Structure 1
Amino acid sequence: MEVFAAAFEASPTPMVVTDPRRGDNPVVWANGAFLGLTGYAREELYGQNCRMLQGPLTDAAVLQTMRSALATGRPFEGELLNYRKDGTSFWNGMTINPVCDEAGKVLFFFSAQADMTDKHRLELAMRDANDALEREVSERTADLRSALEQKTALLHEVDHRVKNNLQVISSLMLLKARRTPEGDARNALQAMADRIGALSTAHRMLYSEGDVTRFDFREFTADLIADLAAGLDGDRTRIETEIEALALSAAMAAPLALLIHELTTNALHHAFPEARRGRVAIEAHRFEAGMRLVIQDDGIGMAAVPSNPAGFGRTLVEMVVRQLRGTLEWSDAGPGTRITITIPLVGTDAL
C-alpha cells in the first residue's frame, strides 16, 4: 500500500479520493498534482466536499448527472468548469470510479483528473475562426450572388434589346419587300426578313429563361414553330414535333433557330406545290454525346424540285451546321425529303 501511495503521490495526473461513508462525502486524500491544479493545501482540502471547486459558471446539468451517478455508486466521466483557490477558472476533465468491498458496498470514490483548459481554449478559437470563416463565405457568396444577378439582368437586357432591334430590322425589310416589284429581289428581302424574325424569336426565348446560360430546347422549338405555323392552312399542311427536353447552351439558340426556320420553311414552300396536302415532322433526341435533329416532309421529294443556283437556303444550312461542328445528310424519305443533322453536345442536361 505504501508503494501504491508513493506512486500515486508522484504521478503527474491529479488524483483525489473521497469517503462517502462520512457525512458530505469529504476529501480524504489528494496527491501533489491535484494540489498544484487547484492551488489548495491538503489541510484546506481534507474534510471538505469537492463542491468547493465549483463556481457561478459551473454547469448545473453536468453536476446533476455526476451527483446521480455517485448516489447510485456508478462511475462518472465528464468535464466541469472548476475554480482554483485564487478564483481563476479551469476546465476539469474527470473520471470518478467507486471503490467497493467484497460485498459491493462503496468505500471510496477515486477520481483522476486533467486540466482541459487548453483544449477548450483551442475549441473556442476554432469555433471563432469557423464563425469568421462562415461569415466571410456568406459575405462572399452574397457578393457573388449579387454579381450573378447583375450579370443575369444585363444579359436579359441585352437579349431584350437585340430582340427589339431585330424586330425593327425585320419590319424594315418587310416594308421594303412590299415596295419592291415581284421577283427575285422581293423574294430575297422577304426571306431575309423571315430569317431575322427567327433570330428575334431566339432572343425572345432567351430573355424569358431564368438561366441565361441555357435554354429548354423543347419549349424553344415549340415557340419557334408556333410562329411558323401561324400563317398555315391547317387543313392543307401541318407541322408536327417530337422534341426531347434538353437544356442546351444559350450560344446554340440562334444557330438552331436559323436551322429549324430555314429547313421548315423550305419544306413548306417547295414540298407541297399546287395545293398538295402534307406535313412536316421535326424530331430531336439525345444520343450518346450528341443530339440528332431530323426534319422530314412527305412532299414531292428533292428530285421533283427544280434546282435553284441562286438559292441561299441550302448554303446557309450547311454553314450553320459547320458552325455547330455537326454533320448534315439529305436523303429521300419516299415520299418526301429527310434532313438529318447530328450535333455534338458537351455538358448538356436532360430536363
Structure 2
Amino acid sequence: MSDSGRYPGHLTGDRSAASTPQALADRRELTFIAVERTRMPMVIVDPRQTDSPIVMANAAFLATTGYPIDEVIGHNCRFLQGRDTDPKAVDEIRRAIADQCTLSIELLNYRKDGSSFWNELFLSPVHDDDGQLIYFFASQLDVSERHHMQELQANKRLMLREIEHRAKNALALVQGIVRLSQADTVEEFSNRVQGRVDALSKAHTVLAEARWRDVPLDRLIRAEIELFSAGQVILHGPEIAIPAAQVQPLALVLHEVVSNAAHHGALSTDVGTLSIRWQSDQGWTCIELRESGGPPPANDRTFGFGMKIMDNIVRRQLRGSVAFDWQPDGLTSVLKLPEMMTP
C-alpha cells in the first residue's frame, strides 16, 4: 500500500504556507509521511468517531509500546493506562479533548508486556479549513530515565537529611554519656565512656544491618551479650520490633545492666546467670533482667550512677519507666517501654 493509502485525509496546516489545492494535498501527504517516519512516537485520533479511536500510529509508537498495529488502530488510547496511572492525569486528557485544547502532560503508561514507562504526552487538536475539529494529534516521549534521576535526587536529599538527623542524635547521646559518666580516676572514667560508646557502635551496626528500620529486640540484646557464654545469659520472649529511633537509647540501657552484672553482679562469676525476658502487654513492652547465682549485693552504690543514666534515658527518651529490686541473690531490673511492638 502506498503512503497515501495509509492515512486519513482533510488534515491541513497553515493556510498562508500554500494557496493551491495541489499544494495543500502535497503538504498533507508529506505531513503523514513525516509522521510515519519520525523517531518520535505519534498517533492520530479521530474524535468524530465513537470512543475517539486511533486512526494512525507510526512505527516509533509501535516500538515504544510493543503493540502490533492491529491492536492499535481502531482502539482508544486508554489501553496504555494501567494500575498506577494517575486518574487525575486521565481526567485532564479527557477535558482537553472535550474542550479541544492543546495539552502537555506526563503520566505513567504501560507497554503490551506489562512494563511501565513515564510518557510525556503532547496533545493538539487539528481543524479543517472550516474550523471544524477533525483529528487530535498526539506525540509521546519516554521520559522514564528523567523520572528515575529525579527520584534518585529526591532519595539522595532525604538520605542526607536522615544521615544528618542520625548524626545529631548520636552526637547528643555521646555528649550525654560524657556528661553523665563519673569515676574516681581518669582511667576508670575513660573505660566507662568507652564501654558506653561501644554499646552505641554495636547498636549502629545492628541498625545498618536492618537498613535503619525496625530491629528485632532479641537481635539488639544479643549484640550486647555476645561476649558471654550461652549458659550464662538466658533469653526468652516473643518477636518484638524496636523502632529505629529507639534502638540506640535502649542499647545504652541494656549495656548498663549487662555491664554492671559483668563487673559486680552475676556475670562476674562462672556460676552466675542473667535471665532476660520480655513480653508485650497492651501496647507496652516489658523487659525483665534478673541476675542470680552471683555475689550478693551489699548495697546499690556500685550501680548507683548507672541507675541514674538508665532512669534518665528511659523516662526522657523512651517515655517509659524502670524499676530495680535488690535481692540477696542479685539485682532485678524491669523496664516498661511504650509502643515498642509493631503489629
Which one has the largest radius of gyration? 1
Q: What TM-score do you get using the length of structure 2 for normalisation? A: 0.50
State TM-score, norm by structure 1.
0.49
